[in-house]
Amino acid sequence: MKKLYLLKIFIITLAITAFAACSDDKDVRSYSLDVNKSEFKNIDFEGKTLEFEIDSNTNWTITGAEAWMHLSETNGSGDEVISVKVDAYNDTEAEVRTATLTVKSPNVEGEKKITFYQNPKSLFEAIFKVNIIKYNEVEAKGQTIKGFMITSNVPWKIVDAAPWIHLSETEGTGDAKPIITVDACEEIEDSPRTGTFVVESDKTDKKWTVTIVQLRVPPLNVLDEIEDEKFIFIIKSTFKISDDQPFLSIERAKELTEVHLYEISSLKGLEYFTGLTKLTISSSSATSVDLSKLVNLTKLYIDKTKIASLNTSSLINLSLLYVMGNHSLTTLDLSNNKKLETLTCPSNELEATLDLNNNTVLSVLECNDNQIKSLKIDKCPFLQHIDCSDNEISTIDISGNKMLSKFLFSENLVSTIYVWWDGGYSSIPPTLQRHTISDRILLIKK
Protein backbone atom coordinates (compact mmCIF):
# COMPACT_ATOMS: atom_id res chain seq x y z
CA MET A 1 0.00 0.00 0.00
CA LYS A 2 2.77 2.41 0.94
CA LYS A 3 4.64 1.59 -2.26
CA LEU A 4 1.54 2.29 -4.33
CA TYR A 5 1.15 5.69 -2.61
CA LEU A 6 4.77 6.63 -3.31
CA LEU A 7 4.35 5.61 -6.97
CA LYS A 8 1.37 7.95 -7.31
CA ILE A 9 3.30 10.83 -5.80
CA PHE A 10 6.20 10.22 -8.18
CA ILE A 11 3.92 10.19 -11.26
CA ILE A 12 2.19 13.41 -10.22
CA THR A 13 5.53 15.16 -9.57
CA LEU A 14 6.86 14.04 -12.93
CA ALA A 15 3.75 15.35 -14.70
CA ILE A 16 3.98 18.75 -12.98
CA THR A 17 7.66 19.10 -13.89
CA ALA A 18 6.99 18.20 -17.50
CA PHE A 19 4.12 20.71 -17.71
CA ALA A 20 6.26 23.50 -16.23
CA ALA A 21 9.06 22.75 -18.66
CA CYS A 22 6.64 22.88 -21.58
CA SER A 23 5.22 26.19 -20.38
CA ASP A 24 8.72 27.65 -20.05
CA ASP A 25 9.58 26.49 -23.56
CA LYS A 26 6.38 28.09 -24.89
CA ASP A 27 7.15 31.45 -23.23
CA VAL A 28 10.69 31.56 -24.67
CA ARG A 29 9.49 30.77 -28.21
CA SER A 30 6.88 33.59 -28.17
CA TYR A 31 9.48 36.46 -28.04
CA SER A 32 11.13 37.81 -31.19
CA LEU A 33 13.82 40.31 -32.16
CA ASP A 34 14.97 41.41 -35.65
CA VAL A 35 16.55 44.39 -37.43
CA ASN A 36 16.17 45.54 -41.06
CA LYS A 37 19.85 46.35 -41.70
CA SER A 38 23.06 44.45 -41.37
CA GLU A 39 25.53 47.12 -42.52
CA PHE A 40 26.00 50.68 -43.77
CA LYS A 41 28.83 51.04 -46.29
CA ASN A 42 30.67 54.07 -47.69
CA ILE A 43 29.40 56.57 -45.16
CA ASP A 44 30.49 60.05 -46.29
CA PHE A 45 33.44 61.58 -44.46
CA GLU A 46 31.33 64.63 -43.67
CA GLY A 47 29.08 62.53 -41.47
CA LYS A 48 25.50 61.52 -41.86
CA THR A 49 22.40 60.53 -39.92
CA LEU A 50 21.30 56.97 -40.62
CA GLU A 51 18.34 54.90 -39.51
CA PHE A 52 17.51 51.26 -38.93
CA GLU A 53 14.43 49.53 -37.57
CA ILE A 54 14.04 47.11 -34.67
CA ASP A 55 11.16 44.67 -35.00
CA SER A 56 10.50 43.12 -31.58
CA ASN A 57 7.87 42.27 -28.98
CA THR A 58 10.20 42.27 -26.00
CA ASN A 59 12.78 44.45 -24.35
CA TRP A 60 16.21 44.95 -25.95
CA THR A 61 19.52 46.77 -25.63
CA ILE A 62 22.09 48.17 -28.08
CA THR A 63 25.78 48.07 -27.37
CA GLY A 64 29.04 48.61 -29.23
CA ALA A 65 28.62 52.29 -30.24
CA GLU A 66 31.90 54.17 -30.73
CA ALA A 67 32.48 57.73 -29.57
CA TRP A 68 31.83 59.06 -33.08
CA MET A 69 28.35 57.52 -33.12
CA HIS A 70 25.29 58.94 -31.39
CA LEU A 71 22.21 56.75 -31.00
CA SER A 72 18.71 58.03 -30.39
CA GLU A 73 18.05 55.02 -28.12
CA THR A 74 20.27 52.34 -26.55
CA ASN A 75 17.53 50.30 -24.90
CA GLY A 76 13.81 49.88 -25.15
CA SER A 77 10.94 47.52 -25.76
CA GLY A 78 8.89 46.63 -28.83
CA ASP A 79 9.30 48.09 -32.32
CA GLU A 80 11.52 51.15 -32.72
CA VAL A 81 13.30 53.26 -35.38
CA ILE A 82 16.84 53.97 -34.25
CA SER A 83 18.60 57.10 -35.51
CA VAL A 84 22.40 57.01 -35.66
CA LYS A 85 24.25 60.26 -36.18
CA VAL A 86 27.75 59.63 -37.52
CA ASP A 87 30.33 62.37 -36.91
CA ALA A 88 32.55 63.80 -39.65
CA TYR A 89 35.79 61.91 -40.28
CA ASN A 90 38.26 64.57 -41.42
CA ASP A 91 41.45 62.64 -40.86
CA THR A 92 43.55 62.92 -44.02
CA GLU A 93 45.76 59.91 -43.30
CA ALA A 94 43.49 57.34 -41.66
CA GLU A 95 41.81 54.36 -43.23
CA VAL A 96 38.16 53.29 -43.18
CA ARG A 97 36.82 53.15 -39.64
CA THR A 98 34.22 50.64 -38.54
CA ALA A 99 31.89 50.00 -35.65
CA THR A 100 29.47 47.17 -34.96
CA LEU A 101 26.30 47.59 -32.94
CA THR A 102 24.89 44.58 -31.15
CA VAL A 103 21.16 44.38 -30.54
CA LYS A 104 20.04 41.68 -28.11
CA SER A 105 17.31 40.69 -25.67
CA PRO A 106 17.46 38.51 -22.54
CA ASN A 107 14.31 36.76 -23.77
CA VAL A 108 15.59 35.88 -27.24
CA GLU A 109 18.44 33.60 -28.05
CA GLY A 110 21.14 35.07 -30.27
CA GLU A 111 21.82 38.70 -31.21
CA LYS A 112 21.67 41.02 -34.21
CA LYS A 113 24.67 42.94 -35.49
CA ILE A 114 24.88 46.05 -37.68
CA THR A 115 28.28 47.20 -38.98
CA PHE A 116 29.10 50.78 -40.02
CA TYR A 117 31.91 51.66 -42.46
CA GLN A 118 32.95 55.29 -42.78
CA ASN A 119 35.53 56.59 -45.26
CA PRO A 120 38.01 59.21 -44.09
CA LYS A 121 38.49 62.44 -46.01
CA SER A 122 41.75 61.10 -47.43
CA LEU A 123 39.86 58.40 -49.37
CA PHE A 124 37.07 60.63 -50.67
CA GLU A 125 36.94 61.26 -54.42
CA ALA A 126 34.19 63.46 -55.77
CA ILE A 127 32.38 62.15 -58.84
CA PHE A 128 30.91 65.12 -60.69
CA LYS A 129 30.36 65.34 -64.44
CA VAL A 130 27.77 65.97 -67.15
CA ASN A 131 27.32 64.02 -70.36
CA ILE A 132 26.80 66.92 -72.83
CA ILE A 133 28.21 70.44 -72.73
CA LYS A 134 26.80 71.89 -75.99
CA TYR A 135 23.54 71.65 -77.92
CA ASN A 136 23.65 73.04 -81.48
CA GLU A 137 20.83 74.11 -83.79
CA VAL A 138 18.01 74.09 -81.27
CA GLU A 139 14.79 74.91 -83.14
CA ALA A 140 13.67 78.54 -83.34
CA LYS A 141 10.10 77.54 -82.37
CA GLY A 142 11.39 76.27 -79.00
CA GLN A 143 12.35 72.77 -77.94
CA THR A 144 12.29 70.36 -75.00
CA ILE A 145 15.63 68.57 -74.59
CA LYS A 146 15.86 65.22 -72.83
CA GLY A 147 18.95 63.12 -72.30
CA PHE A 148 21.04 65.64 -70.35
CA MET A 149 22.60 63.78 -67.40
CA ILE A 150 24.47 64.73 -64.23
CA THR A 151 26.59 61.97 -62.69
CA SER A 152 27.56 62.82 -59.14
CA ASN A 153 28.12 61.59 -55.59
CA VAL A 154 28.01 65.12 -54.18
CA PRO A 155 25.36 67.85 -53.95
CA TRP A 156 25.07 70.04 -57.08
CA LYS A 157 23.13 73.04 -58.34
CA ILE A 158 22.44 74.77 -61.65
CA VAL A 159 22.97 78.53 -61.79
CA ASP A 160 23.20 81.46 -64.22
CA ALA A 161 20.80 80.04 -66.80
CA ALA A 162 19.87 82.38 -69.65
CA PRO A 163 16.30 83.71 -69.18
CA TRP A 164 15.03 81.69 -72.15
CA ILE A 165 16.49 78.41 -70.82
CA HIS A 166 14.54 76.49 -68.13
CA LEU A 167 15.46 73.30 -66.23
CA SER A 168 13.14 70.89 -64.45
CA GLU A 169 15.64 70.54 -61.57
CA THR A 170 18.11 73.16 -60.39
CA GLU A 171 19.65 71.37 -57.41
CA GLY A 172 20.05 67.91 -55.97
CA THR A 173 22.39 65.19 -54.72
CA GLY A 174 23.59 62.26 -56.76
CA ASP A 175 22.71 61.40 -60.35
CA ALA A 176 19.97 63.35 -62.15
CA LYS A 177 18.43 63.89 -65.59
CA PRO A 178 17.10 67.45 -65.68
CA ILE A 179 14.86 68.28 -68.65
CA ILE A 180 15.90 71.41 -70.55
CA THR A 181 13.15 73.61 -72.04
CA VAL A 182 14.14 76.32 -74.53
CA ASP A 183 11.69 79.14 -75.29
CA ALA A 184 10.76 80.10 -78.85
CA CYS A 185 13.04 82.67 -80.44
CA GLU A 186 11.12 85.42 -82.24
CA GLU A 187 14.18 87.51 -83.06
CA ILE A 188 14.74 87.89 -86.78
CA GLU A 189 18.46 87.65 -87.53
CA ASP A 190 20.87 85.57 -89.58
CA SER A 191 23.02 84.38 -86.68
CA PRO A 192 21.74 82.04 -83.93
CA ARG A 193 21.48 83.12 -80.32
CA THR A 194 23.61 81.49 -77.62
CA GLY A 195 22.83 80.96 -73.95
CA THR A 196 24.45 78.98 -71.15
CA PHE A 197 23.91 77.55 -67.69
CA VAL A 198 26.45 76.36 -65.13
CA VAL A 199 26.41 73.11 -63.12
CA GLU A 200 28.52 73.40 -59.98
CA SER A 201 29.12 71.81 -56.56
CA ASP A 202 30.41 73.13 -53.26
CA LYS A 203 32.39 69.88 -52.88
CA THR A 204 34.65 70.37 -55.86
CA ASP A 205 36.19 73.19 -57.85
CA LYS A 206 35.00 71.63 -61.09
CA LYS A 207 32.26 73.55 -62.95
CA TRP A 208 30.44 72.58 -66.11
CA THR A 209 29.20 75.27 -68.50
CA VAL A 210 26.51 73.95 -70.84
CA THR A 211 25.88 75.95 -74.04
CA ILE A 212 22.62 76.13 -75.98
CA VAL A 213 22.81 77.42 -79.57
CA GLN A 214 19.35 78.27 -80.91
CA LEU A 215 18.46 79.17 -84.46
CA ARG A 216 16.70 82.48 -85.00
CA VAL A 217 13.83 83.09 -87.40
CA PRO A 218 15.44 83.61 -90.81
CA PRO A 219 15.31 87.29 -91.81
CA LEU A 220 12.34 88.09 -94.01
CA ASN A 221 13.05 89.58 -97.43
CA VAL A 222 10.30 92.11 -98.10
CA LEU A 223 10.89 91.75 -101.85
CA ASP A 224 9.79 88.12 -101.59
CA GLU A 225 6.47 89.27 -100.11
CA ILE A 226 5.66 91.54 -103.09
CA GLU A 227 3.83 89.81 -105.94
CA ASP A 228 3.79 92.50 -108.64
CA GLU A 229 6.99 92.83 -110.68
CA LYS A 230 6.50 96.54 -111.30
CA PHE A 231 5.98 97.12 -107.58
CA ILE A 232 9.29 95.30 -106.97
CA PHE A 233 10.99 97.43 -109.63
CA ILE A 234 9.76 100.66 -108.01
CA ILE A 235 11.00 99.56 -104.58
CA LYS A 236 14.37 98.35 -105.87
CA SER A 237 14.86 101.63 -107.70
CA THR A 238 13.87 103.67 -104.67
CA PHE A 239 16.28 101.82 -102.37
CA LYS A 240 18.95 101.35 -105.08
CA ILE A 241 18.92 97.58 -104.61
CA SER A 242 21.04 95.67 -107.11
CA ASP A 243 19.97 92.48 -108.86
CA ASP A 244 23.04 90.78 -107.42
CA GLN A 245 21.78 91.20 -103.86
CA PRO A 246 17.99 91.58 -104.07
CA PHE A 247 17.26 91.88 -100.36
CA LEU A 248 15.20 94.37 -98.34
CA SER A 249 14.83 93.91 -94.59
CA ILE A 250 11.73 94.85 -92.62
CA GLU A 251 13.69 97.50 -90.75
CA ARG A 252 14.92 99.14 -93.93
CA ALA A 253 11.45 98.99 -95.51
CA LYS A 254 10.21 101.12 -92.62
CA GLU A 255 12.50 103.94 -93.77
CA LEU A 256 10.38 104.64 -96.86
CA THR A 257 8.15 107.70 -96.28
CA GLU A 258 6.70 108.38 -99.74
CA VAL A 259 5.95 106.22 -102.79
CA HIS A 260 3.86 106.35 -105.97
CA LEU A 261 2.64 102.94 -107.16
CA TYR A 262 1.22 103.07 -110.68
CA GLU A 263 -0.14 100.33 -112.95
CA ILE A 264 0.18 97.75 -110.19
CA SER A 265 -1.83 94.52 -110.37
CA SER A 266 -1.31 93.49 -106.72
CA LEU A 267 -0.58 95.59 -103.65
CA LYS A 268 0.49 92.65 -101.50
CA GLY A 269 3.61 93.57 -99.53
CA LEU A 270 2.60 97.21 -99.03
CA GLU A 271 1.91 96.45 -95.35
CA TYR A 272 5.66 96.24 -94.61
CA PHE A 273 6.24 99.92 -95.43
CA THR A 274 4.94 101.18 -92.12
CA GLY A 275 6.96 104.41 -92.21
CA LEU A 276 4.96 105.80 -95.14
CA THR A 277 3.44 109.25 -94.63
CA LYS A 278 2.36 109.78 -98.26
CA LEU A 279 1.04 107.05 -100.55
CA THR A 280 -0.21 107.34 -104.12
CA ILE A 281 -1.84 104.44 -105.99
CA SER A 282 -2.91 105.17 -109.55
CA SER A 283 -4.09 103.32 -112.66
CA SER A 284 -4.00 100.06 -110.75
CA SER A 285 -5.89 96.88 -111.52
CA ALA A 286 -5.55 95.76 -107.89
CA THR A 287 -8.94 95.10 -106.29
CA SER A 288 -7.87 95.41 -102.65
CA VAL A 289 -5.35 97.18 -100.45
CA ASP A 290 -4.30 96.54 -96.83
CA LEU A 291 -3.73 99.87 -95.07
CA SER A 292 -4.06 98.55 -91.51
CA LYS A 293 -0.36 98.79 -90.68
CA LEU A 294 0.28 102.17 -92.34
CA VAL A 295 -0.64 104.16 -89.25
CA ASN A 296 1.76 107.01 -90.07
CA LEU A 297 0.00 107.99 -93.29
CA THR A 298 -1.05 111.64 -93.46
CA LYS A 299 -1.76 111.82 -97.22
CA LEU A 300 -3.41 109.10 -99.28
CA TYR A 301 -4.14 109.33 -103.03
CA ILE A 302 -6.07 106.56 -104.81
CA ASP A 303 -6.79 107.38 -108.44
CA LYS A 304 -8.39 105.22 -111.13
CA THR A 305 -8.15 101.79 -109.54
CA LYS A 306 -10.44 98.78 -109.22
CA ILE A 307 -10.31 98.84 -105.41
CA ALA A 308 -13.80 98.00 -104.15
CA SER A 309 -13.33 98.60 -100.43
CA LEU A 310 -11.22 101.10 -98.54
CA ASN A 311 -10.64 100.56 -94.81
CA THR A 312 -8.98 103.63 -93.30
CA SER A 313 -9.93 103.00 -89.67
CA SER A 314 -6.31 102.59 -88.54
CA LEU A 315 -5.13 105.77 -90.28
CA ILE A 316 -5.60 108.02 -87.28
CA ASN A 317 -3.11 110.60 -88.60
CA LEU A 318 -4.68 110.98 -92.02
CA SER A 319 -5.21 114.64 -92.93
CA LEU A 320 -5.76 114.40 -96.71
CA LEU A 321 -7.65 111.74 -98.64
CA TYR A 322 -7.90 111.90 -102.43
CA VAL A 323 -10.03 109.12 -103.95
CA MET A 324 -11.04 109.61 -107.59
CA GLY A 325 -12.23 107.51 -110.51
CA ASN A 326 -12.54 104.24 -108.60
CA HIS A 327 -15.69 102.85 -110.16
CA SER A 328 -15.90 99.84 -107.83
CA LEU A 329 -15.88 101.97 -104.68
CA THR A 330 -19.41 102.41 -103.32
CA THR A 331 -18.90 103.40 -99.67
CA LEU A 332 -16.54 105.39 -97.48
CA ASP A 333 -16.42 105.12 -93.69
CA LEU A 334 -14.15 107.86 -92.37
CA SER A 335 -15.52 107.98 -88.83
CA ASN A 336 -12.15 107.12 -87.30
CA ASN A 337 -10.14 109.66 -89.31
CA LYS A 338 -10.67 112.55 -86.92
CA LYS A 339 -7.66 114.52 -88.19
CA LEU A 340 -8.99 114.59 -91.75
CA GLU A 341 -8.90 118.15 -93.17
CA THR A 342 -9.31 117.58 -96.90
CA LEU A 343 -11.53 114.98 -98.57
CA THR A 344 -11.57 114.84 -102.36
CA CYS A 345 -13.59 111.87 -103.63
CA PRO A 346 -15.20 112.74 -107.00
CA SER A 347 -16.13 110.35 -109.81
CA ASN A 348 -16.47 107.17 -107.80
CA GLU A 349 -19.66 105.17 -107.27
CA LEU A 350 -20.42 106.39 -103.73
CA GLU A 351 -24.06 105.93 -102.85
CA ALA A 352 -26.49 106.15 -99.95
CA THR A 353 -25.06 108.30 -97.11
CA LEU A 354 -21.73 110.02 -96.74
CA ASP A 355 -21.48 110.79 -93.02
CA LEU A 356 -18.65 113.16 -92.11
CA ASN A 357 -19.91 114.41 -88.76
CA ASN A 358 -17.01 112.70 -86.97
CA ASN A 359 -14.53 114.64 -89.09
CA THR A 360 -14.88 117.85 -87.12
CA VAL A 361 -11.71 119.53 -88.47
CA LEU A 362 -12.66 118.99 -92.12
CA SER A 363 -12.21 122.17 -94.20
CA VAL A 364 -12.42 121.00 -97.81
CA LEU A 365 -14.97 118.54 -99.23
CA GLU A 366 -15.26 117.57 -102.89
CA CYS A 367 -17.56 114.61 -103.41
CA ASN A 368 -19.09 115.54 -106.79
CA ASP A 369 -20.05 113.05 -109.50
CA ASN A 370 -21.23 110.16 -107.33
CA GLN A 371 -24.64 108.75 -106.37
CA ILE A 372 -24.80 110.11 -102.82
CA LYS A 373 -28.34 110.47 -101.47
CA SER A 374 -27.56 112.00 -98.07
CA LEU A 375 -24.67 114.17 -96.89
CA LYS A 376 -24.08 114.70 -93.18
CA ILE A 377 -21.77 117.67 -92.53
CA ASP A 378 -23.60 119.91 -90.02
CA LYS A 379 -21.05 119.09 -87.27
CA CYS A 380 -18.06 120.20 -89.34
CA PRO A 381 -17.64 123.84 -88.23
CA PHE A 382 -14.40 124.46 -90.16
CA LEU A 383 -15.73 123.55 -93.61
CA GLN A 384 -14.88 126.29 -96.10
CA HIS A 385 -15.22 124.54 -99.42
CA ILE A 386 -17.99 122.11 -100.43
CA ASP A 387 -18.60 120.69 -103.90
CA CYS A 388 -21.22 117.98 -103.85
CA SER A 389 -22.50 118.52 -107.38
CA ASP A 390 -23.93 115.77 -109.54
CA ASN A 391 -25.34 113.46 -106.87
CA GLU A 392 -28.87 112.50 -105.73
CA ILE A 393 -29.16 114.72 -102.65
CA SER A 394 -32.60 116.23 -101.93
CA THR A 395 -31.99 117.95 -98.60
CA ILE A 396 -28.77 119.30 -97.16
CA ASP A 397 -27.95 120.81 -93.78
CA ILE A 398 -25.16 123.45 -93.73
CA SER A 399 -26.36 125.16 -90.54
CA GLY A 400 -23.17 124.25 -88.71
CA ASN A 401 -20.82 125.34 -91.53
CA LYS A 402 -20.58 129.07 -90.83
CA MET A 403 -17.06 129.37 -92.33
CA LEU A 404 -18.26 128.35 -95.82
CA SER A 405 -16.92 130.44 -98.69
CA LYS A 406 -17.71 127.98 -101.51
CA PHE A 407 -20.82 125.81 -101.77
CA LEU A 408 -21.55 124.00 -105.06
CA PHE A 409 -24.36 121.47 -105.32
CA SER A 410 -25.77 121.65 -108.85
CA GLU A 411 -27.10 118.57 -110.64
CA ASN A 412 -28.83 117.27 -107.50
CA LEU A 413 -32.44 117.03 -106.33
CA VAL A 414 -32.03 119.69 -103.65
CA SER A 415 -35.24 121.45 -102.69
CA THR A 416 -34.43 122.38 -99.08
CA ILE A 417 -31.30 123.66 -97.41
CA TYR A 418 -30.95 124.23 -93.66
CA VAL A 419 -28.81 127.31 -93.09
CA TRP A 420 -27.40 129.40 -90.24
CA TRP A 421 -28.73 132.84 -91.32
CA ASP A 422 -32.10 134.63 -91.33
CA GLY A 423 -33.77 136.21 -94.35
CA GLY A 424 -33.53 133.45 -96.93
CA TYR A 425 -31.99 133.93 -100.38
CA SER A 426 -31.72 137.70 -100.13
CA SER A 427 -29.67 137.50 -96.93
CA ILE A 428 -26.96 135.06 -98.01
CA PRO A 429 -23.83 136.09 -96.04
CA PRO A 430 -21.18 137.86 -98.12
CA THR A 431 -18.59 135.41 -96.78
CA LEU A 432 -20.28 132.72 -98.88
CA GLN A 433 -18.64 134.08 -102.01
CA ARG A 434 -19.33 131.27 -104.45
CA HIS A 435 -22.44 129.11 -104.45
CA THR A 436 -25.17 127.60 -106.60
CA ILE A 437 -28.11 128.51 -104.34
CA SER A 438 -31.14 129.84 -106.30
CA ASP A 439 -34.28 131.59 -105.13
CA ARG A 440 -36.25 128.46 -106.03
CA ILE A 441 -34.71 126.52 -103.12
CA LEU A 442 -36.28 126.70 -99.69
CA LEU A 443 -33.79 128.00 -97.10
CA ILE A 444 -34.65 127.24 -93.50
CA LYS A 445 -32.71 128.61 -90.56
CA LYS A 446 -31.90 125.90 -88.05
Give the residue with greater pLDDT, 102 vs 10.
Answer: 102
- Please give the torsion angle defined by the CA atoms of residues 169, 171, 176 and 178, in that order, rounded to the nearest 10 degrees: 20
Q: Which domain holds residue 438?
A: 350-446
Instruction: Summarize the confidence of residues 201-226 as an average pLDDT.
Output: 90
Query: Could you tell me if 225 and 208 lie in one domain?
Result: no
- The answer to whether the beta carbons of residues 269 and 225 sit under 8 Å apart is yes
Question: What's the mean per-residue pLDDT of the chain?
Answer: 90
Position 25 scores a pLDDT of 45
Helix (H, G, I), strand (E, B) or coil at 345: coil
pLDDT greater than 50 at residue 345:
yes
pLDDT band of 122, cuts 50, 70, 90? confident
pLDDT greater than 80 at residue 315:
yes
pLDDT band of 9, cuts 50, 70, 90? low
CATH number of the CATH domain containing 168: 2.60.40.10
- Per-residue pLDDT reduced to its tens digit, 382-400: 999 999 999 999 999 999 9
Q: End of a domain among 214, 232, 257?
A: 214
Q: Is residue 196 part of a domain?
A: yes
Q: Is residue 287 part of a domain?
A: yes
Q: Is residue 412 part of a domain?
A: yes
- The answer to whether the beta carbons of residues 323 and 329 sit under 8 Å apart is yes
Our measurement of the distance from residue 401's CA atom to the centroid of its chain's CA atoms, rounded to an integer in Å, reads 52
- Per-residue pLDDT reduced to its tens digit, 418-432: 999 998 898 999 999
- The answer to whether the beta carbons of residues 374 and 393 sit under 8 Å apart is yes
Q: Is residue 9 part of a domain?
A: no
pLDDT band of 2, cuts 50, 70, 90? very low
pLDDT-wise least confident of 79-93, 150-164, 288-302: 79-93
In this prediction the pTM is 0.57
Instruction: Summarize the confidence of residues 118-132 as an average pLDDT.
Output: 85
Position 23 scores a pLDDT of 45
